A = this chain, B = another copy of it.
Amino acid sequence: MRTLAKDLPQKVGETATVCGWAHQIRSMGKLAFVVLRDRSGMIQLVVQGEVGFGAESVIKATGLVRANARAPGGIEIEASEVECLSAAESPLPLRVNGSLDKVSLESILDNRMLSLRNPKLLSIFRLQSELLRFFAEHMRSEDFTEIKTSKIIGTGTEGGTGLFEIAYFDRKAFLAQSPQFYKQAMVASGLERVFEIGAAYRAEKHDTPRHLNEYVSLDVELAFIEDELELIELEKRILKAVFAGVASKDADMLELWGASAPSADSVDAAPTVSYDEALAIVARTGTKLYELNPEAERILCEWSSREHGSDLVFVNDYPRKARPFYAYPKGSGTLSFDCLFRGLEITTGGRRIHEYPMILDSCAAFGLDPASISDYLSIFKFGCPPHGGFAIGLERLTQKLLGLTNVKEASLFPRDRRRIAP
């Protein structure tokens, strides 16, 4: 019967068996100290004689659990039996048991199968699993239904640029940029409130610390809303639930990165400014910009932090030409918004057009052929409630929560312009 490292304090004075990776090995001749790492933590083993395996080998050890003030965590196992279940080659191409701060991201990603064993790097994905959990739990608490929609689409949804093409038997198909059309369809189907956790694809040649060609999109869409302000309130509730969840359950992972989750008060304090106001705030810093580019996002978040004590800022009322054809118009603007978090846009959303004549007009204004999106248009032809939604980028949320430099660090197996392996 195996005992996890975290449960050993209850076993002092007893014999226990542990399994895991040889995290660190210090040979002292007649005996050796082996730190064993399992999914729950670490434990020091005291082994008689030479150990016949190298770091990262997978071992199984049995022995007396005893208190020892000098052992890490105050406990160790005097191993009477040690078995090597799988030997690791040495030297390792990358150190698992030390800091990887000086190793390049390219090298970390090239050796992904091994670098993920580094406890600090692995904690990124333990935390990400929790973000998925708290997001889904919150959506369900507000009566949202989880959906899974196809990522293979016959035609480009928003003009056809930036799509990866698939050879689909004897036809062309594409990877979906977002579940936008499908989540709208599911709102109109009567579910009213839906969320989807799924992959999204962008065939864009960006190579920046903020772009991935494949990412996980946390999509939300709901019926019977008036404007984007309701969506902003919903996103605040979601973020508060997620941040409160990780702050209370995952303090150890945040601590590894010297990170903290925003408090509920600071999320509530997040200001909402119009696109024009946002440009004016940026202009007051002496930076002249004609659009909200990455530099503007940073400036706006610094402003929000300074003036409102919040790591978040919402920008609404984007001009019509800056938004897709389905954005609900209001004068020359739209009922749309972005959410910026610690200097980075993590969400785009807004109310959508739900009236059939209006969406046809918008197709014409944007030069879209209605015939090419007839399935989508049928959503509106047969009665569709007023609705809207947004999407949160999972990797960007992870990145900014932990303070990672590059969004690729928050993707297990990131895809970029050059990388399709491992």
Contact = CB atoms under 8 A, between A and B. Distances in A.
Interface of A: 2, 19-22, 37-39, 56-58, 85-89, 92, 111-114, 116-117, 119, 122, 125-126, 128-129, 132-133, 136, 140, 143, 145-155, 164-169, 171, 173, 175, 182, 185-186, 188-193, 197-199, 201, 203, 205, 213-214, 216, 223-224, 354-356, 375-376, 378-386, 394, 411-415, 417, 420-422
A333 B112 CA distance: 33
A-B pairs, 5 with minimum CB distance: A375-B422, A88-B383, A116-B189, A39-B192, A154-B420
Contact of A378 (B20, B114, B192, B224): B114
A420 to B, nearest CB: 4
A145 B164 contact: no
Nearest to A110: B375
A415 B133 contact: no
14 contacts: A19-B385, A20-B385, A85-B386, A113-B382, A116-B186, A117-B190, A136-B136, A148-B394, A150-B214, A150-B414, A165-B166, A169-B203, A182-B413, A375-B422
A214 B87 contact: no
A380 B86 contact: yes
A88 B190 CA distance: 14
A132 B146 contact: yes
A412 B182 contact: yes
Nearest to A40: B143
A198 B422 CA distance: 18
Instruction: Give the interface SS of chain A, mostly helix, strand, loop or mixed.
Output: mixed
Copies in the complex: 2
Interface centre among A119, A199, A356 (most CB of B within 10 A): A199
A311 B303 CA distance: 62
A184 to B, nearest CB: 9
Contacts of A116: 185-186, 189-190
A85 B385 contact: yes
Contacts of A411: 150
A150 to B, nearest CB: 4
Contact of A129 (B145, B155, B167, B413): B145
Given A113-B379, A380-B86, A39 B133 contact: no
A183 B152 CA distance: 23
Given A21-B190, A146-B132, A185-B113, A421 B375 contact: yes
A381 B175 CA distance: 34
A380 B223 CA distance: 50
A39 B189 CA distance: 9
A129 B140 CA distance: 10
With most chain B CB atoms within 10 A of its CB, the pick from A165, A383, A384, A421 is: A383
Contacts of A383: 21-22, 56-58, 86-88
A174 to B, nearest CB: 9
A22 B375 CA distance: 21
A193 B171 CA distance: 39
